[in-house]
């Protein structure tokens, strides 16, 4: 398959070169009439029939077609440069190509045609991948735009873009095939619905999911997914009260006796409070906390002790104004932050004992190197490490463990797994850790346990 794809690229690159350099190569006019329809055709449908059959979504076909055009561009523009240099040096005649001599107008026309033809191929490809790719992100889109006018560098960046998009097509297509192969098994069809509870300073939005691509994967495999919808910045007590009401609403809406809760970060503390103080326990079958600071963050204690009260109030006011616009009716920035300190969490743990009759488990992760984390975790990792030791960019590893079972996730190399990676915040495909499949298997295990 790979060999055939390479032959396909080479063939279309050859057509592009012949069309772009027909003045220089003194090609017969009848050949040009054949090359032009061919060139138009593969720019409209640039994928080989083999790749069309292998891909299983329109988005992936669009990304693959874009990268195919970019590969053709790289091959053909390199050949055009070589032919141009050889033509200027008069070397083409040594290989039986008559050429057109030193006429300036012929050279001008050749350069114009080459630029026109190569631009058609390039912009067709780059627009397709920019529109369709998820993995390029803002960083590589911006890098491509900035470096686009820098000779040599722009070809290197283009090679990186092609690599990222090729990898995305392969990974996402394998994901589609995997889900299709187990569709009938419905491995995430638990007895009780899944309630996903967000962390601090985020809300549940319909078109900007806090949990990234995870809920979609769970639903594809049979899960019924709902969201906590508690305020993004309020005390654990107030969020726990809101969450208890939400748990009962989901049970009434689905006709289910209980829910399985998966809670990230502060959402785990909110969940424990809902159970301990507001009567949600009888409606909860299981609780899984993801990177929750059960013992708080010593780093948060330090920050609050060093920042003056007046400055705290000013920062809180700015955040709360923004949070009201995003849907929080009564945000309390300082209460939310204070409840994440190790001092406050020690008191909360006395008020929130481990619930009886509910299966409780926890998950934590570690970011191995500061530079491998996305902003702002690349700044906070080293600071948090000074106070809390190994961490996920925000929470120390010693704070994660809670419940009957505990999983600590890490990987070899510099990358590691950050606080944001655990909820697919950046929609990033990470080598060595498939967060979507991790959650599918997590929920599948709940199903096997009878929940």
Which sequence spans correspond to the domains of the chain?
A: 2-179, 187-448
Give yes or no for a contact between 305 and 388, defined as CB atoms under 8 angstroms apart: no
The pLDDT of residue 406: 97
What residues contact residue 433 under an 8 Å CB cut-off, 6+ apart?
409, 411, 417, 421
Q: Tell me, what DSSP letter sits at residue 156?
A: H
Mean pLDDT of each 10-residue bin along the chain, 451 residues long: 77 86 74 85 70 75 91 89 64 50 63 88 94 92 87 89 94 93 96 97 84 96 96 94 97 97 97 97 98 92 78 84 86 91 94 95 92 70 86 93 96 89 93 96 97 96
Q: Give the model's pLDDT for residue 84.
A: 66
Separation between Cα atoms, residue 112 and residue 110, nearest integer Å: 5
- Which pLDDT score is estimated for 296? 93
Token pair listed for 221: 């495999």
Predicted structure pTM score:
0.87
Sequence-ordered list of residues with C-beta below 8 angstroms from that of 32, at least 6 positions apart, any chain: 19, 22
Burial of 348 (0-12, 13-18, 19+ CB in 10 A): buried
CB 10 within 8 A of CB 3: no
Neighbours of 365 (CB within 10 A): 27
Q: What is the pLDDT of residue 12?
A: 86
| Measured CA distances, 28 to 22, 25, 46, 109, 114 (Å) | 8, 9, 26, 16, 17
Phi, psi of 441 (to 5 degrees): -70, -30
**Structure confidence at residue 227 (pLDDT):** 97
CB < 8 Å & 24+ apart, contacts of 282-285: 282/258, 283/247, 283/248, 283/251, 283/257, 283/258, 283/259, 284/247, 284/258, 284/259, 284/260, 284/355, 284/358, 285/191, 285/192, 285/258, 285/259, 285/260, 285/358, 285/359, 285/451
Check residue 86 and give its pLDDT: 61
Sign of the alpha-carbon dihedral angle for 59, 61, 62, 67: positive
* C-alpha distance from residue 191 to each of 338, 384, 444, 449, 450 (Å): 37, 39, 11, 10, 7
CA atoms of 106 and 118, how far apart (whole Å): 18
Residue that has been written with the tokens 């995430």 in this structure: 188
pLDDT at 79: 83
Burial class (CB in 10 A: 0-12, 13-18, 19+), 155: middle
Determine the pLDDT at residue 203. 85
Give the Cα separation of 337 and 300 in Å (integer): 7
- Nearest residue to 231 via CA among 265, 264, 197: 197
pLDDT of amino acid 150: 86
Q: Tell me if the domain spanning 187-448 has CATH number 3.40.50.1820.
A: yes
What pLDDT is recorded for position 4?
A: 74
Q: What does the pLDDT read at residue 106?
A: 63
Question: CA 157, 161, 164: angle at the middle one, nearest 5?
Answer: 135
Check: CB of residue 210 under 8 Å from CB of residue 202.
yes
């Amino acid at each position: 398959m790979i060999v055939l794809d390479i032959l396909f690229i080479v063939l279309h690159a050859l057509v592009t070169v012949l069309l772009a350099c027909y003045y220089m190569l003194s090609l017969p006019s009848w050949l040009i009439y054949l090359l032009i329809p061919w060139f138009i055709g593969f720019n409209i449908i640039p994928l080989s029939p083999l790749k069309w059959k292998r891909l299983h979504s329109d988005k992936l076909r669009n990304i693959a077609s874009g990268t195919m055009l970019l590969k053709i561009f790289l091959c053909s523009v390199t050949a055009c440069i070589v032919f141009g240099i050889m033509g200027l040096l008069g070397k083409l005649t040594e290989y039986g190509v008559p050429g057109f001599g030193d006429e300036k107008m012929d050279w001008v026309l050749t350069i114009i045609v080459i630029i026109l033809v190569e631009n058609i191929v390039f912009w067709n490809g780059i627009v397709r991948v920019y529109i369709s790719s998820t993995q390029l992100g803002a960083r590589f889109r911006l890098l491509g735009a900035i470096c686009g006018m820098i000779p040599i560098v722009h070809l290197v960046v283009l090679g990186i873009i092609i690599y990222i998009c090729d990898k995305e097509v392969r990974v996402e297509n394998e994901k589609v095939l995997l889900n299709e192969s187990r569709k009938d098994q419905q491995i995430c069809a638990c007895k009780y619905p899944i309630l996903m509870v967000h962390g601090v300073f985020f809300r549940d939005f319909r078109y900007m999911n806090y949990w990234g691509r995870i809920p979609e994967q769970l639903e594809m495999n049979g899960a019924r997914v709902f969201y906590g919808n508690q305020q993004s910045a309020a005390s654990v007590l107030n969020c726990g009260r809101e969450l208890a009401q939400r748990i009962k609403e989901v049970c009434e809406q689905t006709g289910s006796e209980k829910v399985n809760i998966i809670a990230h970060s502060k959402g785990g503390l909110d969940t424990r409070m809902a159970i301990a103080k507001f009567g949600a326990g009888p409606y909860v079958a299981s609780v899984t906390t993801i990177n929750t600071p059960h013992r708080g963050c010593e780093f948060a204690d330090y920050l609050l002790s060093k920042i003056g009260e007046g400055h705290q109030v000013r920062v809180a006011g700015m955040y709360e104004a923004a949070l009201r616009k995003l849907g929080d009716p009564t945000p309390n920035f300082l209460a939310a932050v204070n409840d994440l300190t190790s001092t406050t969490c020690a008191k909360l743990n006395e008020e929130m004992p481990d619930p009886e009759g509910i299966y409780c488990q926890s998950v934590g992760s570690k970011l191995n190197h500061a530079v491998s984390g996305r902003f702002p975790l690349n700044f906070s990792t080293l600071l948090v490490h000074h106070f809390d030791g190994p961490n996920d960019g925000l929470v120390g590893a010693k704070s994660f463990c809670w419940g009957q079972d505990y999983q600590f996730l890490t990987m070899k190399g510099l990358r590691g797994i950050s606080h944001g990676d655990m909820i697919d915040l950046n929609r990033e495909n990470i080598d060595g850790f498939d967060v979507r499949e991790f959650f599918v298997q997590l929920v599948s295990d709940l199903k096997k346990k009878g929940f």
